[in-house]
Amino acid sequence: MSTRPIGDHALLSDCRSAALVTSDGSVDWLCFPRFDSPAVFARLLDEDAGHWSIRPAGPAEATRRYLEDSLVLETTFRNQDGTVVLLDALALGGRERGHSLGASSPGVLLREVTCVEGSVPLEMTYAPRPEFGLVHPLMEPVRGGLVARGGAHVLTLSAPVDLTVSDSTARAAVTLRAGQRLCLALQASWGWAPEPPRRHPWRVHRRLKDTVAGWRSWSRLHTGYRGPWQEQVGQSGRVLRALTFSPTGAIVAAATTSLPESVGGERNWDYRYTWIRDTSFTLQALATATCELEEASFFSFLARAAATELDRGVDLQIMYGVGGERDLSERLLPHLDGWRGSAPVRVGNDAWRQRQIDVYGELLDAAWQLYGDAGRLDRLTRSFLVGVAETAARRWQEPDQSLWEVRGPSRHYVHSKLMCWVALDRAVALAPTLGATGRVAEWERTRERIRAEILARGWSERVGAFTQTFETDDLDASVLMMPLVGFLPGDDPRVRATVEAVAAHLTDARGLVHRYHSADGLPGGEGTFLLCTFWLAHALALAGRGGPARKAFETAASYANDVGLLAEEVDSVTGEPIGNFPQAFSHIGLINAARAIRDTGG
């Protein structure tokens, strides 16, 4: 089984697909040509599921960073004989700049090793295992590299070194001396397409430089945030861009599947899809990072993907594939052991079948953020958004599975009702833009009914806080959203009491927040959620409690790894990152909380 810590990985992206690289130079995760494609390297989930490592032979000290304002990874290895620098990147299209990142589809992994002092012997192991390790390809050495055939793709490795091949694995040993450079590239092509040419070393070097320039050009356009934690906000903005499928504007929740919510547990889900529930907070984060075009692209993708005739009684689907696909049926990969034995490994996500009535609020809140100032919407989008509001007004009294996608019985979740209130509140504000001023009076009446129900049935006198579901005493961190969406002001006594209750009863000894402690229909437990801790910081800032807000923020942010990436959760026992990685929602929470603390003078 794979035992490498989740936080030991760094992300590479070409804004279409993603790779994860360990601190000792091994690519242990790579999906071509899309984020949700079957993995070519999946050692992250099973030791025998493929990897590509380059490292010094023998012990070496390793340090790493991203080159400034980019997602090109630099790993420096030092041993007693000398120093080498490894650069890794997923290539951007040639001369792509600014908002065009990922506009073309190069699908090339670039690796360059340079000896900067002394003499360092290197060893390389290349073991591609397409389709999550099911395929052990046939390998053929060719001039300038190696071709691997098997399954749907042909993998072409450009490597100007002598390779030995055995059991679908290629190995090489080479010594670099000061000033010498080794350039390598891996490209995937369809099995029926012409083979791509091997890439000469100077072309690899040039593409690396061009990819650095591409990322830096994008970063220069997104430097609008000024305030505390500016570097972390900037890095989080790049992570969101890296998790964007550029052809459509979809943003995946994470780059991975089946990294567990507890070590050895079975809460292992595929997060390589796009969720409506993330929409409004994603747009806030993109606005903070001045990503206006990304905001519009993301909303347009969701509006297209979600568009349907809601008056037929169907639910609004909660999630989509990066191309807008709806059927995300879940299946198991029993041949994989899972990270640290955390099985099963899943691809697909059956949460797409769930009812979550909160999504109406997230979608309309996003539309309000983008088009609330008399922005222009096409006729079909206006009609669809009116249908979203009408459906929220009609279905808000129904139980659902909540934003946490509980796999137990449907219940009346307070957060779901809250977001139906948001749906109608934003629909009222958008009515002139939607051409729906005639519906305002009815929407306002239903909005006030929802508000009254939440205040009466969502509040527990015994607990002294708003709770997870109507007329219960269970706490849930999602109620921290009340001041964040404007349902109640941050300094309302009931909000303050709820914030204190969450801090007292859902926070662990490290200061990190659990989602809830109630039963959810699944065995085992889970770690603390970084998003929920950022929500706590955000709510504290809105309550005028700047000191505790900063403390909560810095506690959550301290769990970023050495290159600034955040996982979904933190193990309450060991303190190590767990869950899918890197997690978009964690980085979204960081950006939004930083802005809130800045804007409230915290």
Q: What is the pLDDT of residues 430-485, one digit of tens each?
A: 999 999 999 999 999 999 999 999 999 999 999 999 999 999 999 999 999 999 99
How many CA atoms lie within 13 Å of 40's alpha carbon, on the beta-carbon side? 32
Residue 193 pLDDT more than 90? Answer: no
Coil vs helix vs strand at 139: strand
Q: What is the CB neighbour count within 10 angstroms for residue 5?
A: 15
The token duo for 538 is 């955000």
CA–CA dist 271, 69 (Å, integer): 26
Q: What is the pLDDT of residues 407-416, one digit of tens each?
A: 889 999 999 9
316 and 276 Cβ atoms separated by less than 8 Å: yes
Paired sense of beta strands 138-142 and 145-150, if any: antiparallel
- In this prediction the pTM is 0.96
CA–CA dist 366, 543 (Å, integer): 24
The CA angle 486-488-494, to the nearest 5 degrees, is 150
Higher pLDDT, 44 or 225: 44
CA–CA dist 173, 466 (Å, integer): 62
> DSSP string spanning 423-458?
HHHHHHHHHHHHT-GGGHHHHHHHHHHHHHHHHHHS
Phi, psi of 227 (to 5 degrees): 155, -165
Burial category of 149 from C-beta neighbours within 10 Å (exposed 0-12, middle 13-18, buried 19 and up): middle
The share of the chain scoring above pLDDT 70, in percent, equals 97
Query: Which amino acid, 346?
Result: R
User: What's the mean pLDDT in 579-584?
Assistant: 98
Q: What is the pLDDT of residues 273-312, one digit of tens each?
A: 999 988 888 988 888 876 778 888 999 999 899 887 676 6
Residue 98 pLDDT more than 90? Answer: no
Residue 496 pLDDT more than 70? Answer: yes
pLDDT bin (cut points 50, 70, 90) of residue 520 is confident
Query: For 172-176, 219-223, 498-502, which range has the lowest pLDDT when averaged over its residues?
Result: 219-223
Residue 200 pLDDT more than 80? Answer: no
Instruction: Please identify which residue in the block is written with the tokens 């994989």.
Output: 336
CATH number given to 6-219:
2.70.98
User: What's the mean pLDDT in 344-356?
Assistant: 94
Instruction: Please identify which residue in the block is written with the tokens 């297209």.
Output: 304
Query: Which amino acid, 274?
Result: T
Question: Can you give the pLDDT at residue 415?
Answer: 98
132 and 39 Cβ atoms separated by less than 8 Å: yes
Q: What is the CB neighbour count within 10 angstroms for residue 456?
A: 10
CA–CA dist 367, 417 (Å, integer): 19
Question: Can you give the pLDDT at residue 201?
Answer: 63
316 and 363 Cβ atoms separated by less than 8 Å: yes
Instruction: Please identify which residue in the block is written with the tokens 């083979």.
Output: 195
Q: Considering only CA atoms, which of 41, 34, 88 is closest in space to residue 211?
A: 88
Q: Considering only CA atoms, which of 539, 568, 533 is closest in space to residue 255?
A: 568
Compute the mean pLDDT over every residue in the chain, rounded to the nearest whole number.
93
84 and 115 Cβ atoms separated by less than 8 Å: yes
Phi, psi of 405 (to 5 degrees): 55, 45
77 and 56 Cβ atoms separated by less than 8 Å: yes
Residue 106 pLDDT more than 90? Answer: no
Question: Can you give the pLDDT at residue 72?
Answer: 98
The token duo for 393 is 């007004």
590 and 556 Cβ atoms separated by less than 8 Å: yes
